[in-house]
Amino acid sequence: MSAERIYRLLLRAYPPDFRAEYGREMVLLFRDQCRESDVRTIGFWAAVIWDVARSAPALRAEAWCTRGRESTRTIEVIMKLAAILTVLVGVFGILNAMVEWGAGLTGTIGGMHALALVLGVFASALLLAAGAAILRPTQRGRHAPRLALLASLVLIVAARLLHPWMSVFSQLVGIGFPVAILIALYWPRRASPAGA
């Protein structure tokens, strides 16, 4: 196996982007080194391996950091979309409760059902507030939306206990949605100056 082929194999230790950008230049430089050195000596290969071992891990780490920053930006976009959805679900929840309340005026609604509806309206309002807080982050970061989501979750569970005939859809949205957003908010990730 020629020295250049061995060096090309060693180049695989570097990140693909770096290889694509500088691989050809590095091989040219290695060729120059081969012309002026004895490639059959241990010293030559020790210097080559030392150079790769010294520079490749640092460049790999830099590439991972860059990728980490990019994935953080993607998560922030997803969080913004989730926040918009949270606001819409909150508005939908309030409208739904108002429609049910209107139906209740005709006499088909009981005391516990009415209380569950009031709790549902508060839970939806808290969802709306949480979505707005995620969209417009403050100095206190994600503390406010977390509290709002937890409170909304507690209210929906209370409403479900008061009114066992709550629709499966309402339960899924009212309980599953805040839980999903809370998991996303508590998920560890790198801080970004762009914010979420």
Partner 1 sequence: MVTKRRAGRPPEAYLPLPPATFHILLALADGELHGYAIMKGVAARSAGTVRLGPGTLYGSLKRLLQAGLVEEGGERPDPERGDERRRYYRLTPLGLSVVRAEARRLDAMVRAARRKKLIGVRPA
Task: From 55-63, 83-91, 158-166, 167-175, give the range in contact with partner 1 by CB under 8 A.
Answer: 55-63
Q: How far, in Å, CA of 196 to CA of 134, rounded? A: 7
Size of the site for partner 1 (CB under 8 A): 22
Residue window 57-96: x/- pattern of binding to partner 1, with contact defined by CB under 8 A: -xx--x----------------------------------
According to the binding rule CB under 8 A, does residue 4 interact with partner 1? no
Comparison of 29 and 161: residue with beta carbon closer to partner 1: 29
Coil, helix or strand for 141? Answer: strand
CB atoms within 10 A of CB 159: 25
Structural contact between residues 194 and 73, judged by C-beta atoms closer than 8 angstroms: yes
Residue 20 contacts partner 1 per CB under 8 A: no
Q: Which stretch binds partner 1 (CB under 8 A): 30-38, 100-108, 152-160, 174-182?
A: 30-38
Q: Which of these segments, 45-53, 93-101, 128-136, 181-189, binds partner 1 (CB under 8 A)?
A: 45-53
Which one of the spans 25-33, 88-96, 148-156, 168-176 is the region binding partner 1 (CB under 8 A)?
25-33
Question: Using an 8 Å Cβ cutoff, are 82 and 66 in contact?
Answer: no
Q: Looking at beta carbons only, is 48 or 151 nearer to partner 1?
A: 48
Nearest approach, Cβ of residue 131 and partner 1 (Å):
34
Q: Which residues 6+ apart lie within 8 Å of 26 measured at CB?
A: 11
Helices (H), the chain: 3-10, 16-36, 42-103, 111-135, 143-162, 168-171, 177-186
The C-alpha atoms of residue 152 and residue 120 are separated, in whole angstroms, by 8
Q: Are the beta carbons of 134 and 142 closer than 8 angstroms? A: yes
Between 95 and 194, CB nearer to partner 1: 194
21 vs 68, which CB is nearer to partner 1? 21
Say what the alpha-carbon torsion angle 41, 42, 47, 53 is, to the nearest 10 degrees.
Answer: 140
- Which residues of the chain form contacts with partner 1 (CB under 8 A)? 14, 18, 21-22, 25-26, 28-30, 32-33, 47-48, 50-52, 54-56, 58-59, 62
